[in-house]
Amino acid sequence: MIRYALLCEHGHEFEGWFGASADFDDQQSRGLLECPVCASKAVRKAIMAPAVAGTKKKVQDLNPAQGQAMMMEAMGRIRRHVEENFDDVGDAFAKEARDIHEGRSEDRGIYGQATAKEVRELVEDGVPIAPLPPEAPKKSDLN
């Protein structure tokens, strides 16, 4: 797996993992890359510092399947933590996030759904939000 630091046209930084270096170019040319914050499809590679090898085993030392499994497990732990500890506000997420940010609602962790337009407006207004990792596939759906 290759990890790239990515940047959208609005300056949002995020990471992307690809099976090979050509996969980034292929996905970008087909319009499959999208900023997780604002949904912009104008995504490019950002400058990255080279990784410095250490003595501990790194994700790079694992085969691609092991690295992907570790990443999926970490994302699953994040999602479970949010679902167990934050309030699910459903499709009222954008309104509630803005109300919390502006002090009109109790300051607490929330999650829910928002349209790409709502997300873009929240980001433009400085409301701190982040996408929730996707649900892990069910073991019965894996081959």
Burial grade of 13 (CB within 10 A; 0-12, 13-18, 19 or more): exposed
Residues 6+ apart with CB under 8 A from 14: 6, 8, 35, 36, 37
Instruction: Please give the pLDDT value at position 60.
Output: 59
3-state class of 112 per DSSP? strand
Reported as a single tens digit per residue, the pLDDT across 85-113 is 999 999 999 999 999 999 999 999 999 99
Reported as a single tens digit per residue, the pLDDT across 52-87 is 655 555 555 667 778 778 888 888 888 899 999 999
Query: Rounded to an integer, what distance in angstroms lies between the CA atom of residue 30 and that of residue 55?
Result: 39
Query: Rounded to an integer, what distance in angstroms lies between the CA atom of residue 101 and that of residue 89?
Result: 15
Higher pLDDT, 143 or 131: 131
Reported as a single tens digit per residue, the pLDDT across 109-139 is 999 999 999 999 999 999 999 998 887 766 6
Beta-ladder partners of 2: 18
> Between the CA atoms of 9, 15, 21 and 26, what dihedral angle is there, to the nearest 10 degrees?
-50
Higher pLDDT, 102 or 4: 102
pTM above 0.75, yes or no: no
